[in-house]
Each structure stands twice: as structure tokens, then as C-alpha cells.
Amino acid sequence: MTRIVSRARCITTSSRAEKMSARPDRHEAAREPGRKLLQVAGLSFFQRPLLAWRRKSRHVAFPDQSRVYRYTSASSASTHSTLGPRITVPAQRSPRRQAQLALRRSLATVARSDVFANISAADIEAFAKILPSPSQILTTISPESGSAASYQAVDPSELDTFNNDWMNKYHGKSQLVLKPKTTKEVSEIMKYCHSKNIAVVPQGGNTGLVGGGVPVFDEVIIQLGGLNQIRSFDEVAGTLVCDAGCILESLDNHIAEKGYMMPLDLGAKGSCHIGGNVATNAGGLRFLRYGSLHGNVLGLEVVLPDGTVMDNLSTLRKDNTGFDLKQLFIGSEGTIGLITGVSIVTPRRPSAMNVAVFALDSYEAVQTVFGQVKKHCGEILSAFEFFDQTSFDVVQKHATAHVRDPFEARHPFYVLIETSGSNKDHDDEKLQVLLEHLMEEGMIQDGVLAQDETQLQGLWALRESIPEAAGKMGKVFKYDLSMPINKMYELVLDMRKRFDEHGVHGEGKDVGAVCGYGHIGDGNLHINIVAKSYDEKIENIIEPYIYEWTSEVKGSVSAEHGLGLMKATKIGYSKTPESIEYMKKIKDLFDPKGILNPYKYIQV
């Protein structure tokens, strides 16, 4: 420590014993009384007090819901060839490529399938026999007159929360929400729906961003929040078994007391369910360190479309007996089964945590810094996020809770790095060497390092507030793409140029901001295009251009949000016709009647 202090003029007061004490809270380490206060020569590294912004989150606020967007999958022909300066579509295409493109452009408007039954009062009476409490049924369908009904109809507005998504972009017209509390109840509901050809949509916390969790038409909503029990936690192995409707943040708080943490973290953690996370194969902020749910989920309990309960709720780390069927349900977005139970391995909670934000002058610098951060802090790195100045400005102007700007000037790019480990001295030392190197080499223009929990939360707020602030500013066309890291920002610049060429970009115009941010460490770019309304004219400028661009650089049109309704016809940009064919066969195998989450994912 002495060496670092002298080299970087650090001040430290805490004893090693204080620093090493294990704390249950994720960010408790940042409360160490003697957290280092860094000041690196000539630059404002780091000791400015940051705003007391705390991640109260708990429940994600819904942005303004005043405008209504009617979903249409129709979109105009691409003007790509004239407006795409860097990525060009080849003139000669292979038959496979042509087939892919044909699929992408099969843009038939979704229509309600008359294969599915209309819900009647008699159906609701049947559900009332399965669900013991009247509060488990919410319906606008009145009981038949004269019947001794066990339920009452409610005003349609009471179903709004379930029929509309977080962005208020997708709007269903379901007349019935069922709220089972046990796997058996889910199974009985599905048996009935299967026998009557009733289409259903599984719904978790309804924080999905691709329209997957709300009905397209009048599908019955099965809301899984009633399945919210923790079944077991093995403190030696760190394996958690719980109901699918448990809220991610509640689970994290529960196991924090035992020194563990959930292997995933996302801005919607206060509302999203672990079942929804598994169904969407959510990525989030810890993906870089702990990897995909495909690796962390050990077992699942699933109710199949015909009501069969498939119990694969294993807690084994190793099990090579046959096909690993649970993997099919991870990322299946409620199209082949309803997840009712989850077994997941959780990592130890780190006792030392550091968060820093650097300001940079170019996207090249972002990439260079990423390389340096991996080189110096690879094994303790838990997040590497980037955001551009537009995102920063949007947060400063529109975030609900004030998020303090810790810098003296605005910069074109920012990166947030988080390190977490079990030895604070070790981590501090590594970070110290990194910071000195970055400053001496002129790779960063400025930087701030959190000194306590409040500041740590304040720095995270700069990044995590972007989706919410964009939603406050206007209607957001969200794109969640993965691609080679060196291509990521080129797309943001191309999109801005494209809007400029159409004369719709700028203050007072249709498109107010094009924000680029995301998980650099995972090659995952989020482009949020903030418009005055969900206008088809704007959508047609964006699509299919953005998907073709991504496909040309061999990226994925959905890095982590899934396909849902938004991208049900877009899968061909990222998957071959053969793969799609086999996906359709899998859907057909589990759900031959197609009653589970129809019209979405892969349109069959």
C-alpha cells in the first residue's frame, strides 16, 4: 500500500482488518471507512463528492404512458443501398442468403388466429374451480345472468397493467388474468386451456422490452407473481431453488444474508422475476463476470402446454445423462412451457468492490481502455459498460431522480468499470496501477472513483438511468444488438447520419436523440432512438436497415432482450433457415396446438 500511496498520492486510513471484514451487502465493501481517496497529478481524479443517489429501484418506474402505438409488422423496403455508407449488401446472393432475406421480408401483418377459442363465462367458472381465491382471477367478462357465479367482473382499466408493456408500446386486449400460486394450479389451468384451445401468455414482472409478455390479442394472461416462495438454499454449494415468480432483487437480498449474490443483475431487478429472467435468458450487468444463465441455471420445473409437469429441478453441477432439456427452456420466452421453479448456482458475494467512471475522447479510446482494464484487472473485473455523450445528456435532463454529473466538462464517451473481489488491498492496488497507467498514457481525459456506497450507486445511476431517462424524454425505439466491438459505434454514427439525411434528427424534430450505450465487455450495443411518437415513418427509416447492417457484420439482432413480438419475423437475420426449421419443430413438439404465446418468437 505504501508504494501505491507514494506513487499516486493516495490517502488511506483504514486498517487491513477493517477492510477484510466480510459484509453481506453487495456494495457494503464501498462503505469501508478508509476507502482510498485518489488524486492523480493534474487531473480531477476522483475525490469529488457524488450525489446521494441510491438504487432504490425496487420497482421500475413505468415511463409516460400517454401515447398509444399500434403494432404493425409491416415495414417499407430498405433504402439501405443509397444511405448505408459503410456496410453494403452484396449484389449476388447465395440461395441460402436469398431464403434468409425472403424470410426477413415476409412481413405479413399479424392477425388473430380463429383456431383459438373465445373466452366465455363458463371458462372462467372452470378456472374459479382451480384457483381457490377470488383474488386470483381478474376478468372483464361478466358471469352469466342468473348463475351463482363465484367471481365478479372488473372494470377493463384494472387489466391495463397486464395488457400493456413497460414501454407502453405493445397493447393487448386480454379479458382475463389468472394468478396461480402453485405449480399444480398452473398445471390444471394449462390442462383446461389445452383441452379448449385457449391461447395463453405467461407473464412475469412485465419488464420485457420486445412485447413478449403481453398478449397480442385476447390471450389469457397467466401472471406468475403468486409463485414466490424460496424452496431451499444450500449454503455450502450456493445453490438456490425457488419459485419462478420470485423477484430478482428479493432473491439477491435473501441470499446476501448468507454471503451470496445472484449471478445476474439488471436495471429492472426490482420488478422482473427469476422465471422471466430464465425465459428471456437475460444478460445484464454481471454477464461479463458470471456468464449466461445457460451456465448458471442447474435445473427447471416446467409446466408444458398440455399441463404435464416436467420436473428437472436438479441441483447437480454435473449431470451427463442424456439431452440437457432445461437448456431449451432458457431463452424460450414462454413459447414451449411455463417455468414454475428454478434451481440456480449463486456466487459468493464479494467483500471488496470498486466502481470508477472514466471520460474519454473517442470510441477508439474506449476499446483501448477495455484492453488495458482486462490486462490489469482481468480477474476482478465485474462490469465494463460504456455510454456516449448523448446518453449522458439524456440522463442529466430527463432522469426521474437527479443524477449528479461528477465531471467538470462533457466528454464524447464514458466507461464505467466495476471490480469485485475478496481482498480489498489487492483490488485497490491493481486498480491503482491501472489508473496511473491510463492517466500517464493519456488514454482517459478524466475520471471519478466512488469512495462510499452512495457514490458507488451514484456512478451506477449514470449508466442504469439511461433507459428510464430516454423513456421520459419520448417514445423509444430500442435495439439490442451484439456484434464485433470495433463495429459497435459505427452503427450509432450511421443511424444518426441516416436520420440527418431524412431531415428528422435534432432538437424539435421527430427524432430527438440517438443514444449509444451498452455492455462493451459482452459486445452488446443498445441503441435507443428517442422519437416524439412510435411513428411508422421513423420505424421505416430504422428497419430493416439496422437489422441488415447487423447481419452484414455477423452480429445478432437480439443480444439479450429476446425476439418477442418485435422480432418474431427478424430471426432470419441471425439464424440460418435450417436452424429456424428445427426451432419450429421443437415448438411443434412441445406445443402442437400452438396455444403458448402465439404470434411471437418465431412466427410459425
Q: With contact defined as beta carbons under 8 Å apart, do 343 and 299 qualify?
A: yes
326 to 5, 94, 336, 411, 465: CA distances (angstroms): 51, 35, 11, 45, 33
Question: Which amino acid is it at 90?
Answer: P
Diameter over CA atoms, the chain:
86
Site for ligand FAD, residues 344 to 403, rule: CB under 6 A:
none
**Judged by CB under 6 A, which of 207, 239, 346, 551 binds ligand FAD?**
207
The DSSP secondary-structure symbol of 164 reads B
Cβ neighbours of residue 327 under 8 Å, at least 6 residues apart? 294
Question: Residue ranges of the alpha helices (H) in 441-558?
Answer: 453-464, 466-473, 488-501, 536-542, 545-552
CB of 270 to ligand FAD, least distance (A): 9
**Judged by CB under 6 A, which of 284, 305, 350, 512 binds ligand FAD?**
284
Query: 3-class DSSP state for residue 560?
Result: coil
CB of 161 to ligand FAD, least distance (A): 11
Does position 177 interact with ligand FAD (CB under 6 A)? The reply is no
CB of 281 to ligand FAD, least distance (A): 8
CB of 420 to ligand FAD, least distance (A): 17
**Judged by CB under 6 A, which of 266, 525, 595, 602 binds ligand FAD?**
266
Does position 459 interact with ligand FAD (CB under 6 A)? The reply is no
Does position 523 interact with ligand FAD (CB under 6 A)? The reply is no
Q: Residue 315 is placed in which grid cell?
A: 441441483
Cβ neighbours of residue 248 under 8 Å, at least 6 residues apart? 262, 264, 265, 266, 268, 269, 270, 272, 273, 274, 277
Q: Which is nearer to ligand FAD, 334 or 421 (CB)?
A: 334
CB of 58 to ligand FAD, least distance (A): 12
Does position 342 interact with ligand FAD (CB under 6 A)? The reply is no
Element housing 197 (H / E) = none
| Site stretch for ligand FAD (CB under 6 A), options 35-43, 272-280, 291-299, 406-414 | 272-280
Does position 263 interact with ligand FAD (CB under 6 A)? The reply is no
**Judged by CB under 6 A, which of 50, 242, 282, 373 binds ligand FAD?**
282
Does position 178 interact with ligand FAD (CB under 6 A)? The reply is no
Site for ligand FAD, residues 228 to 247, rule: CB under 6 A:
244
Q: With contact defined as beta carbons under 8 Å apart, do 523 and 529 qualify?
A: no
> By beta-carbon distance, which residue lies closest to ligand FAD?
276
Does position 333 interact with ligand FAD (CB under 6 A)? The reply is yes
- Distance in angstroms (rounded) separating the CA atoms of residues 212 and 60: 18
Q: Residue 302 is placed in which grid cell?
A: 416446467
- Cβ neighbour number for residue 153 with a 10 Å cutoff: 16
Query: 3-class DSSP state for residue 314?
Result: coil
CB of 279 to ligand FAD, least distance (A): 3
**Judged by CB under 6 A, which of 46, 116, 151, 166 binds ligand FAD?**
166
Does position 339 interact with ligand FAD (CB under 6 A)? The reply is yes
CB of 285 to ligand FAD, least distance (A): 6
Please provide residue 530's backbone torsions phi and psi, each rounded to the nearest 5 degrees.
-95, 115
Site for ligand FAD, residues 5 to 64, rule: CB under 6 A:
60
Site for ligand FAD, residues 545 to 584, rule: CB under 6 A:
560-561, 564
Q: With contact defined as beta carbons under 8 Å apart, do 241 and 340 qualify?
A: no
Q: Which is nearer to ligand FAD, 272 or 483 (CB)?
A: 272
- Distance in angstroms (rounded) separating the CA atoms of residues 163 and 455: 38
Exposed, middle or buried: residue 456 (CB in 10 Å: 0-12, 13-18, 19+)?
buried
- Distance in angstroms (rounded) separating the CA atoms of residues 367 and 253: 34
CB of 480 to ligand FAD, least distance (A): 8
Please provide residue 284's backbone torsions phi and psi, each rounded to the nearest 5 degrees.
85, -160
CB of 504 to ligand FAD, least distance (A): 26
CB of 96 to ligand FAD, least distance (A): 29
Q: Enumerate binding residues for ligand FAD (CB under 6 A).
A: 60, 166, 201-209, 212-213, 224, 244, 266-268, 272-273, 275-277, 279-280, 282-284, 333-334, 338-339, 467-468, 560-561, 564, 597
